[in-house]
Structure 1
Amino acid sequence: MPAGECLFCAIGAGEQPGHTVLSDDVAVAFLDTRPVFKGHVLVAPRAHVETLPDLPAEAVGPFFERVRSVAAAVEQGLEAGGTFVAMNNRISQSVPHLHVHVVPRNRKDGLRGFFWPRTRYDDPTEAESYALRIRAAFGPDH
């Protein structure tokens, strides 16, 4: 996909403005324009892929090394108590280019747990039925 068709590719190519905090041959990281908290960074692979399953296996380690480095830099650089690190795949993914959110956190910062409601399994049998379906999706080699 040409950089002009993807906002994050265009930021990585320098064709669109962005407050870049890290840029190398693996990833580009820049401030989110609508941050949860100031200093909220998006880390995107330089190669255009839409979701985590689309990222080639050999690229996962190097990409997440960059995510790890950004999380450490956000915490240290902003003197944050920690970080919230998350990604969406398709649903709630506002730009169809894989990206990881690194959000600075501090105690009593107002963010309450996850952004979505929580539920419970009816019983251990129901929980195991979900686990079984997910395990089966890995295929016979796992």
Structure 2
Amino acid sequence: MDCIFCKIVTKEIPTKILYEDDDTMSFLDAFPVAKGHTLVIPKKHHAKIQDLPSDVNQKLFNTVHKMTPKVDSLQGSTLVAIHNGKDSGQEIPHVHVHLIPRSNTDSAGPVHSMFKDKIDLSDSEIDSLYNQLKII
């Protein structure tokens, strides 16, 4: 497999590992958007969140939970982000969680600022989406 994160897990590619256990790894992003930009990955290759077995998902987010206070201590806030699929902005098809230190003086905004074209949904469109997405 030619996955850069899998190569980091096997230590073929050196990185600054911040935390590691049997199932997950956290390290500094090689192309940070902020000082302290950190990634958390499952060690086994899974392309999307829904591909993770439940136990791996739990372990991944346990590591996110451990790392977030460390990243948060850098600026006081942390953006926790997951791109889930190529069209969402996922550049490496291996599940990874971004932990990005944020401050009120950085150049980023809230998630809604990522989208230049706002949508306006009718009540029937909202109802249709509700029916498509609800689990209960």
Q: Same fold (TM over 0.5)?
A: yes
For 1:101, what is the secondary structure of its paired residue? strand
Pairwise mapping of residues 19-30 of structure 1 onto structure 2 (< 5 A)? 19-30=16-27
Counterpart of 1:116 in structure 2 is: 115
Q: Which runs of 5+ in 2 are unaligned?
A: none
- Across the two proteins, how many residue pairs are aligned to each other? 132
Q: Which runs of 5+ in 1 are unaligned?
A: none
For 2:100, what is the secondary structure of its paired residue? strand
Amino acid at match of 1:117: K
Residue 31 of structure 1 and its aligned partner are, at CA, apart by 1.2
Which segments of structure 1 move beyond 3 Å, counting only runs of 4 or more?
Answer: none
Query: Take 1:24 and 1:57, find their aligned partners in 2: how far apart are those partners?
Result: 17
Q: Please give the root-mean-square deviation of Cα atoms over the aligned residues, in Å.
A: 1.6
Query: Take 1:134 and 1:82, find their aligned partners in 2: how far apart are those partners?
Result: 30
User: Given the alignment of the two structures, is residue 69 of structure 1 paired with residue 70 of structure 2, yes or no?
Assistant: no
Counterpart of 1:85 in structure 2 is: 80
Deviations 1:84-129 (A, max 9, x none): 0011111221111100000001122221222333623333322121
Identity of aligned residues (%): 33
For 1:66, what is the secondary structure of its paired residue? helix
TM-score, normalised by the number of residues in structure 2? 0.88
User: Given the alignment of the two structures, is residue 46 of structure 1 paired with residue 43 of structure 2, yes or no?
Assistant: yes
